[in-house]
Structure 1
Amino acid sequence: MDAIANSPLLSRLSRWFPGLSLVRHYQRAWFRDDMRAALSVTAVALPVAIAYAQLTGVGAVVGLYSCVLPMLVYAVFGSSRQLIVGPDAATCAVLAAVVTPLAAGDAQRHWQLIMTMTFMTGVWCILASRFRIGVLAEFLSKPILMGLLNGVAITIIVGQFSKILGFRYQEPYLLERLLHTPTYLAQTHWLTLAIALLTLMVFLLAKMMRPHWPAAMLAIAVATLVSWGFSLGDNGVAVVGSVSSGLPEFQSPVFELGLVRELVMPALNLTMVSFISMMLTARSFAAKNGYDIDADAEFRALGFANIAAAAAQGFAVSGADSRTAINDASGGKTQLVSVLSALIILAIILFATAPLAFIPSSALGVVLVIASVSLIDIKALWRLRKRDNGAFTLAVITLLAVLFIGVIPGITMAVLLGLFQFLKVVMRPDDQILGVNQKGILRSLGKGDKVKPIAGILIYRFNSPLTYFNAVYFKRRLLARIAQQELIETVIIDAVSCFSHLDLSVMAMIDELHKLLRKKGITLILAGRKRELLAWCEAAGVDVSDGDIIIRPDLTMAVRMLTNYKAAVSQGLAPQVRKQDDPDEVLAHSLL
């Protein structure tokens, strides 16, 4: 057994299937903690999965289908030891917003479109992993994601009031629903509201008296017992209704060209939101437990988990922060927690779905409201105003977009805002003029007098990779800096900070800049990446053979050689530089 566990084949497989590493390193002492954590995760996952199924617009058992196979798949492909995947508030809200108008009231078609979008989301994730573009998902910065989640949470909470109070919304958008609030309050079904209040009371009491118990499951259990005992379903209280047991009967997703076309971009938006949400959770718990995770590997794991969800007749999944936190708090050590929890849920699907029929919809609405409240963090949003006003503005714009134009347009705007934010940083970065301090170390010139400029030399640093869309800005900023200085004889550009790849537009700009500076009697030196710059100049047809553009290995050497040579010339120890001379050779000769 040890020989198999330590075989080179298994070692190679572990790179693609990180969960298999537990086969090689699993310790028996971990099993008790993993089993306890699995029971705790299941206790929370069951009511939440059923509630999210209603939010998505499908049957209760579909929420359970969405747990089992994705959890098993992630346990194999995922690199996080604590992360639990499953139905998530944001992903379900997106699915419902996209699919409901396309289904046009056809429940079967609604379910099939949900599976189609889930499958497409999985494909997007795998493509992103294949091309190693997990970084693209980070266009949704933390402030933007904060605004997005707050907006989605508020939208869900308002949407659940109809289940809690026992009426049905006629308007699809949040603003119109709020405007008609007085009319809806007059339609309150008091018995439905009473069950909702009972559920909330049991939840709060359980949280106060037994914080480690599964409060949501206890609250749902009490509400279900009351519903069953008093036949509330026959008295106007909406209940889940009959839930089929056993494995799902396979039905293929919808692949009509017109409908698929409608789902392409929403599926991409869902991919971005679910992955970023998952990564925030996975990274935080990985850091807490002292290990690293690979973004591209997590993208692949999320993709396979969503394809598995579609194959199991379920809906899209993401990293579940509440269930992950419970897993960690219960002492879960490995991905085996996901496996054990999935098997427990599978047993319930096969043998114990009958009690689910009596669950009141208002009780599930309370669970969804409680879960959504945990996503709202207005205080953190407000703190951004003092720390970073620009980030606060982005978060508020995203929040308002989700609330007033809808979840999908809001997410699209969030992605675009993230992209524009990135482009702004790259296209209009900070720049600096460098000088030397009393110890002779190069530092940025500031408001103090500890760092002094070098007479006749301007050392320029551009804090972004140079590319075709910021080359003109670079040239304009450098010339503006030169115009602010007096008696500049030499300009040294820190090439390490801005030359990252060959761009013909950039090299053409450098050639133009050099010719312009030469007319003003200013020498141009590029410091750093000497081999690459020589190769790039040759590829772009920029002539450096006559020494007009000087390239040096690094910034410190460029400054030292230039100042030493100027000192040598001033003392009559070095000949005047001719164009065909290499300054390195001239300096060496002068020092000898």
Structure 2
Amino acid sequence: MPKLRQYFPILEWGRRYDRAALSSDLLAAVIVTIMLIPQSLAYALLAGLPPEAGIYASIAPILLYAVFGTSRALAVGPVAVVSLLTASAVGQVAQQGTAGYAVAALTLAFLSGVFLILMGVLRLGFLANFLSHPVIAGFITASGILIAASQVRHLLGIEAGGQDLAQIVSSIMRNLDQTNGITLLIGAAATGFLFWARRRLRATLARLGTPDLLADILTRAGPVAAVVATTLAVWALDLEARGVQIVGRVPQGLPPLTMPGLSPDLLRALLMPAILISVIGFVESVSVAQTLAAKRRQRIDPDQELIGLGAANLGAAFTGGYPVTGGFARSVVNFDAGARTPAAGAFTAIGLAVAAVALTPLVHHLPNATLAATIIVAVLSLVDFSILRKTWRYSRADFVAVAVTILLTLLLGVEIGVASGVAISVMLHLYKTSRPHVAEVGLVPGSQHFRNVLRHSVTTDPRLLTLRVDESLYFVNARFLEDLIQKRVTEGCAIRDVVLMFSAVNEVDFSALESLEAVNQRLRDMGVGLHLSEVKGPVMDRLKRSDLIRHLNGRVFLAQYDAWVALTDAPDLRGGSDGAP
């Protein structure tokens, strides 16, 4: 039974579900449903799909995540960045507006689901750690700019397109003379209202004495108000006849059963985009889930999250949706509204299903400009250029990674941007570990502590070289240490003993072992002893299985102070000898 609960977390929280949790979850579901209706329609538009696809992608996936997910507050569904990635990937294999485009979107969700579940079963959630946070922040910032720029055409009522910022801006400028004045007025008004509602409405309602709960609901319903007002205006004034582009007919009913395309060519074309979408979606989702869980002293299982998100994507693939993940904004709203369990998501799915059955005819006259305004206001909150300032002050290498990711995403498109971000993250890690920090240390007077000779006033002995290695040793950096020892010993001809202080070394792989054996032999030939100190137990266990310890041209000391006493003429301040207590 415990094993079953591991893969079906609903069995864990479901057996303790009570009336208090039910009331909290229902309230959260009402608030999130109000927020999700216009958001889902808008994100489908961003993905290049019919508006109903956004609703469909928010029903079955949420229900499946409630069964398999471990976060109590994560709200799963379409999000801006994944929608943009979907449009970029699917647009390369099918023409927008065709049946093939919709099938390709289903296939992308299917591949993402399979990949995520496979990673979860194999417990490979740690692989997402190779995508560093600065690179993710840079990619999301650039994506927010691209998304906002791509929606300007809907605010103007013109035809324009492009995969990167230069193409989008160029296309808009070429067609600027086709701007529809009424569409621009609607779009500008909706954008202005949504920005005001996001920043000022809550405070305004509080000044008017509105109860906190009602103020929260009304603030979250800001996009709904914009949708209702502009839809009524288009319908009452017959603005469609004056060139205002509208959503049009939205099928009324529950999500249909659909089948992704399984042709080898299509699967091959979408495999890499699916992997990238999966990794980006998982990193964003699990970071949100962990943050919210920590606030309530709860925990999530990243590997089970992979299975939950994978199941959600498979659900989207077979019910007319497209790739989904946990959204930051809706998850925070869900948490703040008091969601206690994933059942809040299930109630949200029921609310969206009711909307799909009963409310879709009401959005027929909804102008695309309003949906574009909803997207722009939502994604601009993702743009954070402060990451450039922060990384510049803290780490120039991280700054370069962020800057390059932003530039490549803006100039070459999202797929190249995110692929470059992954590559930069890995290369940055390899670069940092290929040149480990190795400090020459000496004894702090009057103590048994050893510190960097460049940072502290310490005692050294010209006959003894002590190097503290502050990184695990593996194939990438083994030669660096070997060259450093060789250079230092040949420069200091008085050196007769070298001690490698391994207090920070957690791993020595086979390449590094061979390098240490080469150092040992070279120092033996030079008449210099090689010693190790403060070697961690697991590292020592492995070294004992090698020839290094048996043929070591020196000794292994429990503490660096033991080595200092044994290899110099210094007295043992502990009152014993050679490390004796």
Please give the TM-score of this superposition, normalised by the length of structure 1: 0.88
Aligned 8 A contact 1:445 1:453 in 2:
no
Structure 2 match to 1:42: 33
3-state secondary structure, aligned to 1:497: coil
> CA offset at residue 234 of structure 1?
3.0
Paired residue for 1:524, among 526, 530, 540? 530
Aligned 8 A contact 2:259 2:317 in 1:
no
Structure 1 range deviating more: 85-94 or 298-307:
298-307
User: Could you give the per-residue CA deviations for residues 159-212 of structure 1, whole angstroms, max 9, x where no partner exists?
Assistant: 101111100115444203323544332211011112213323443454423462
Residue 514, structure 1, aligned to residue 505, structure 2: no
1:152-551 equivalence runs, <5 A: 152-169=143-160, 171-204=162-195, 206-207=197-198, 208=201, 209-210=204-205, 212=216, 213=218, 214-453=221-460, 456-483=463-490, 487-498=494-505, 500-503=507-510, 505-529=511-535, 536-537=542-543, 540=546, 542=547, 544-545=549-550, 548-551=553-556
Residue 14, structure 1, aligned to residue 9, structure 2: no
Paired residue for 2:138, among 138, 147, 157? 147
Aligned 8 A contact 1:502 1:536 in 2:
no
3-state secondary structure, aligned to 2:450: strand
3-state secondary structure, aligned to 1:337: helix
User: Could you give the per-residue CA deviations for residues 335-355 of structure 1, whole angstroms, max 9, x where no partner exists?
Assistant: 221111111111212232211
Query: Structure 2 CA distance, aligned partners of 1:354 and 1:200?
Result: 24
Structure 1 match to 2:209: none
Query: Structure 2 CA distance, aligned partners of 1:158 and 1:418?
Result: 27
Structure 1 range deviating more: 25-34 or 393-402:
25-34
Residue 96, structure 1, aligned to residue 98, structure 2: no
Query: Structure 2 CA distance, aligned partners of 1:587 and 1:303?
Result: 59
Structure 1 range deviating more: 145-154 or 100-109:
100-109
How many pairs were matched up?
Answer: 562
Query: Structure 1 CA distance, aligned partners of 2:92 and 2:360?
Result: 30
3-state secondary structure, aligned to 2:240: helix
3-state secondary structure, aligned to 1:67: coil
Task: Decide whether aligned partners of structure 1 residues 30 and 453 sit closer, same or farther in structure 2, where only a CA change above 3 A counts.
Answer: farther
3-state secondary structure, aligned to 1:444: strand
Q: Which amino acid aligns with 1:479?
A: Q
User: Could you give the per-residue CA deviations for residues 19-77 of structure 1, whole angstroms, max 9, x where no partner exists?
Assistant: 43222333432333222211111111111111011111111111111111111122222
Structure 2 match to 1:581: none
Query: Structure 2 CA distance, aligned partners of 1:181 and 1:533?
Result: 61
Structure 1 match to 2:14: 23
> CA offset at residue 395 of structure 1?
1.0
> CA offset at residue 530 of structure 1?
7.3
Task: Decide whether aligned partners of structure 1 residues 587 and 405 sit closer, same or farther in structure 2, where only a CA change above 3 A counts.
Answer: closer
3-state secondary structure, aligned to 1:21: helix
Task: Decide whether aligned partners of structure 1 residues 488 and 129 sit closer, same or farther in structure 2, where only a CA change above 3 A counts.
Answer: farther
Structure 2 match to 1:560: 562
3-state secondary structure, aligned to 1:29: helix
Structure 2 match to 1:77: 68
Task: Calculate percent identity across the aligned residue pairs.
Answer: 26
Residue 109, structure 1, aligned to residue 116, structure 2: no
Query: Structure 2 CA distance, aligned partners of 1:115 and 1:524?
Result: 62
Task: Decide whether aligned partners of structure 1 residues 543 and 339 sit closer, same or farther in structure 2, where only a CA change above 3 A counts.
Answer: closer
- When the two chains are superposed, the root-mean-square deviation of aligned CA atoms in Å is 2.7
Query: Structure 1 CA distance, aligned partners of 2:506 and 2:369?
Result: 60
Structure 2 match to 1:3: none
3-state secondary structure, aligned to 1:334: coil
> CA offset at residue 568 of structure 1?
10
Structure 1 match to 2:43: 52
3-state secondary structure, aligned to 1:264: helix
Residue 32, structure 1, aligned to residue 23, structure 2: yes
Query: Structure 1 CA distance, aligned partners of 2:135 and 2:268?
Result: 27
Query: Structure 2 CA distance, aligned partners of 1:192 and 1:296?
Result: 46
Task: Decide whether aligned partners of structure 1 residues 114 and 441 sit closer, same or farther in structure 2, where only a CA change above 3 A counts.
Answer: farther
Q: Which amino acid aligns with 1:71?
A: I
3-state secondary structure, aligned to 2:15: helix
User: Could you give the per-residue CA deviations for residues 508-542 of structure 1, whole angstroms, max 9, x where no partner exists?
Assistant: 221111111112222212335577566645655x2
Aligned 8 A contact 1:430 1:463 in 2:
yes
3-state secondary structure, aligned to 2:59: helix
Structure 1 range deviating more: 526-535 or 513-522:
526-535
Q: Which amino acid aligns with 1:134?
A: G
Query: Structure 2 CA distance, aligned partners of 1:223 and 1:138?
Result: 44
Query: Structure 2 CA distance, aligned partners of 1:186 and 1:401?
Result: 30
Task: Decide whether aligned partners of structure 1 residues 355 and 481 sit closer, same or farther in structure 2, where only a CA change above 3 A counts.
Answer: farther
Aligned 8 A contact 2:441 2:453 in 1:
no
Q: Which amino acid aligns with 1:420?
A: M
Structure 1 range deviating more: 506-515 or 164-173:
164-173
Aligned 8 A contact 1:384 1:391 in 2:
yes
Query: Structure 2 CA distance, aligned partners of 1:447 and 1:256?
Result: 63
> CA offset at residue 430 of structure 1?
1.4
Structure 2 match to 1:5: none
Query: Structure 2 CA distance, aligned partners of 1:238 and 1:22?
Result: 46
Structure 1 range deviating more: 336-345 or 251-260:
251-260
Q: Which runs of 5+ in 1 are unaligned?
A: 1-8, 575-585
Task: Decide whether aligned partners of structure 1 residues 323 and 500 sit closer, same or farther in structure 2, where only a CA change above 3 A counts.
Answer: same
Task: Decide whether aligned partners of structure 1 residues 195 and 538 sit closer, same or farther in structure 2, where only a CA change above 3 A counts.
Answer: same
Q: Which amino acid aligns with 2:334?
A: N
Aligned 8 A contact 1:121 1:271 in 2:
yes
Aligned 8 A contact 2:435 2:477 in 1:
yes
